[in-house]
Structure 1
Amino acid sequence: MTFDFIPSPLRNKFVDYARLLRLDRPIGTLLLLWPTYWALWLAASGFPSWPNLIIFTLGVFMMRAAGCAINDFADRKVDGHVKRTNARPLATGRVKPFEAVALFLGLALVSFLMVVLWTNTLTFYLSFGGLVLAFIYPFMKRFTHLPQLFLGAAFSWAIPMAWAAEAGELAKVTWLLFLANVLWTVAYDTLYAMVDRDDDLKIGVKSTAILFGEADRAIVAGLQTFVILILISVGTQAELGIAYYLGLLGMAVLFVFQQHMIRYRQREECFRAFLNNQWAGLSVFIGLALDFALR
């Protein structure tokens, strides 16, 4: 299907917006989506309500896109100096800074209104934390070597929100799941940061990849180990069965494979290891969903 009936300048602008929002790169959406589904299924002890499933699926897509817009706004003066990001629309001037901010605010507002109109009071209050984290994360790499920790909190905040929407309250397991996802996010985003480490050192951008230095692989492996252990604790407390633990086994095998990929710290292999995490999250979700479906 072609869109030749749309004037070329308008068509090009839509393409630039799509690239700004990473609509052509769904990896970030999937990394945010699977833990949100973990929370929905666990809170519901099975298939969640359709309204919550739709709200949080759409919310994940919109908030990830909003996060990309504000991230590129924050990085608009440095992306041009990084090999992986120098062709992004803001870095090349095809999208203006005010357009990125407007897209962030519009997407965040729509997501916020969905929460206000169709969930409960607890979820409404929690949503403010999500908005703050989504906004501040992109700026943290200028002040701390731990921006991945802030990304972990931002990517994990959908867990208590989804749980609250489905169960009307939070539980100890909610925060265990939150902690596991924060650590997992720090691990896989460190792999992502290893791709840009040389460029980041030149331009003064901070990251865990720089902070960890030669210990990067060992620390990532340690974080991945803690993720598995915490998710085992989640399974124990939620009285989950063999299907769930097989899903965790799948995640563990993929973690080992990722360590193999990054053994020489090559850019391409580190990026492949980062991308591989979408399958790790999916493995846990399949195990969790099957466990409840087979009861």
Structure 2
Amino acid sequence: MLGTLSAFCLLGVRMPTPRLARLRPDASVVPLQPAPSRAVAGRLLGEELRRWRESRGLTLKDVAPVIRGSTSKISRLERGESPPKPRDVRDLARHYGLGQQEMQLVERLLEQAQDCEWYEQFSDVTPTYLRRLIQLEGSAKSICTFENQVVPGLLQTREYARELVRLVMPGASEDEIDRVVELRIRRQLILAHGVPRLTALLDESILYRRRGGDRVMREQMEHLLRAAGTAKVNVRVIKLDRVTPPHPITHLVFPEGGPSELAYVELIRSANYVTQTRALDDYRKILTHLRDISASLEESRDIIVEAAERYR
């Protein structure tokens, strides 16, 4: 569940109906720095490494010993899911017998991929699998996420996130909690850009599962309403009488220049990154089905408003 503990919304929008207008949440806007290029460079580098390996008729198993690792390590490197280590990349480049121009490309992409991302400063309180997701979110053009336990990380308020962090880190100090919450808040900042577009599919039970007191829950409901009022965020509620998967699913689509898409399936203390065509197709079908059975945009807003009223 750690992967879902993110922060707040960035755009305050007046609700269009009288019923929605009764809610008067704060509408704070947070400025953003330009998106870093590290994630894109890492994916491009991985794509080049894969292309060079395949052109030489080598399998993942063939080249894993070159970097003293496993086939899964090579696979993550080629998919751009792991920060590339210069030694590993150069060893592979030499093994593939790359020419001078190809080596220059490797060094340029490696330099760009090694630029420090903002979230690296939180590496001591963030599992590796979540850092990979944050990296990928920053370069996606669209994200569709389904949640059945908590509000999706990209739509959480600060206090809602704090309650979740306290729940999953019962022995943490206040300083550690503050650092984790700050990471979640910083993760939200991608919503200030033109991309990605976000579709959030929420099991209705999330709206009534308390994470903190009435104030925390009401602010979170109001925050969902603000997000649902923006052009780039589509919030849809799946009613309780519908059958939903037992775990969260996130599908990311990327612009040209790397892997076109992947699915992220979060488990209790780990996560799976799905890139195989058949498995991806299965997850796309699941998310399409969930969109089809979810309430309409207007009806979803009414459901969230009703939930907010319960926390007065």
* Structure possessing the higher radius of gyration over alpha carbons: 2
Give the TM-score normalised by structure 2.
Answer: 0.28
Larger helix fraction of residues: 1
The structure, 1 or 2, with the larger RCO (C-alpha pairs under 8 Å, 6+ apart) is: 2
